[in-house]
Structure 1
Amino acid sequence: MKERIIVIGSPGSGKSTFAKQLSQKMNIPAFHLDKLFWKNDNEMVEQEEFVRQIEKIIAENETWVIDGNYRGSLPLRLEKADLVIWLKAPRWKCILNVIKRYFKLLKNEDTGGNPKSLRFEFLKYIWDFPKNHFPSIMEAKAHYSNRVEWIELNGFKEIARFMKENKINH
């Protein structure tokens, strides 16, 4: 049974929602890296503190679902993970989801620790995510695939099908 799970993917791909639903289904704790990384809308924790928090989560919990990319900490998580679920959704849908999330934030709804502003630079980051981040994710997959199972879910229909087949409720 896979009990140490990493959920990665572009911002707006549904990582936090997916991780939360998976953790509820499996009855294991979920940890959202955005909540650890962002102090507030404009301020981030220091990298050393961020890594210490991740190390503590991994050391103190036998089981977990951790969502978030944060390339610098990915090897640390991959060393202990059983499974990586890579959510690969279309860029334009990820951007649309981030815009929707922004309006939820205006209503003071919880959106997983994400900044409360909508910046062009962030939308560009999402648009460029496949070009800028997929190569390093593929390298990590190649390096760790002998000991960590990888599941790639391509698009929101495949993500929803996975959730349904695994009886994860929306």
Structure 2
Amino acid sequence: MRRIAVIGCGGSGKTRLARRLGALLDVPVIHLDAVYYDSAWNALPQEKFAALQEELVAAPAWVIDGNYASTLPIRLKAADTVVFLDLPWWTCLWGIAQRQWRHDAGQHDQGVYNRITWGFVRYVLGYRRRMRPRVERLLAEHARGADVVVLRGRRAVRRFLTQVARATRAHA
């Protein structure tokens, strides 16, 4: 595991998982929200965002967290491991609420943004019905060379991290 794409619904814990994997594996962590948005929530043009990702995935090791389905194939083709956090909407909404309490609105550490709108809440509520099928198609189409790990709950995430930690210690 040297090139890891972490994907999933907002509030699923992508950023926390990415940070933990980066620390365990000693690889750089990239948060796509920090790449895509500036401090005033202005988005990069799509072409520039895609070009930046092409540069990022050319590195020998990385953990990249974020969805951005339009550019997901770039990461899926380059990844050796994809972790899909496929958590229920209520777990994701709880994760968003916790993040809001921890960081309040706005930017928190490492350039990750905490911006909650009704549109975002609707996106979370409909993620499994609307986005998951699209993500599954993209995984089948573009992640053929990668190990795909689907985690469906917080307990599964903790077990996965424990397995990675054990494997890392065994290889040290």
TM over 0.5: yes
Report 1:8-157 matches (<5 A).
Answer: 8-59=7-58, 61-106=59-104, 110=108, 113-157=111-155
Task: Tell me: CA distance 1:107–1:72, structure 2 relative to 1, closer, same or farther (3 Å).
Answer: closer
What SS does the corresponding residue of 2:78 show, helix, strand or coil? Answer: coil
- Separation (CA, whole Å) in 2 of partners of 1:41 and 1:101: 19
Render the CA deviation track for 1:21-79: whole Å, top value 9, x for unaligned: 101111111111011111135321211221122112122x1111111110111111112
- Contact 1:41/1:114, CA 8 A, preserved across alignment: no
How far apart are residue 80 of structure 1 and its match?
Answer: 1.1
Once the two structures are overlaid, the 10-residue window that deviates more, 38-47 or 119-128, is: 38-47
- Contact 2:77/2:143, CA 8 A, preserved across alignment: no
- Separation (CA, whole Å) in 1 of partners of 2:81 and 2:162: 19
Structure 1: unaligned runs, 5 residues or longer: none
- Separation (CA, whole Å) in 1 of partners of 2:125 and 2:110: 21
Code of the residue aligned with 1:73 in structure 2: it is T
Task: Tell me: CA distance 1:130–1:111, structure 2 relative to 1, closer, same or farther (3 Å).
Answer: farther
Question: Percent of aligned positions with the same letter in both sequences?
Answer: 29
Q: Which residue of 2 aligns with 1:160?
A: 158
Structure 2: unaligned runs, 5 residues or longer: 167-172
How far apart are residue 116 of structure 1 and its match?
Answer: 4.0
User: How many pairs align?
Assistant: 166
Task: Tell me: CA distance 1:145–1:53, structure 2 relative to 1, closer, same or farther (3 Å).
Answer: closer
Code of the residue aligned with 2:123 in structure 1: it is Y
- Runs (4+) of structure 1 moved beyond 4 Å? none
- Separation (CA, whole Å) in 1 of partners of 2:106 and 2:136: 36
Task: Tell me: CA distance 1:117–1:139, structure 2 relative to 1, closer, same or farther (3 Å).
Answer: closer
| Larger relative helix fraction | 2
- Separation (CA, whole Å) in 1 of partners of 2:106 and 2:140: 41
Render the CA deviation track for 1:83-113: whole Å, top value 9, x for unaligned: 1111111211111111221232328772554
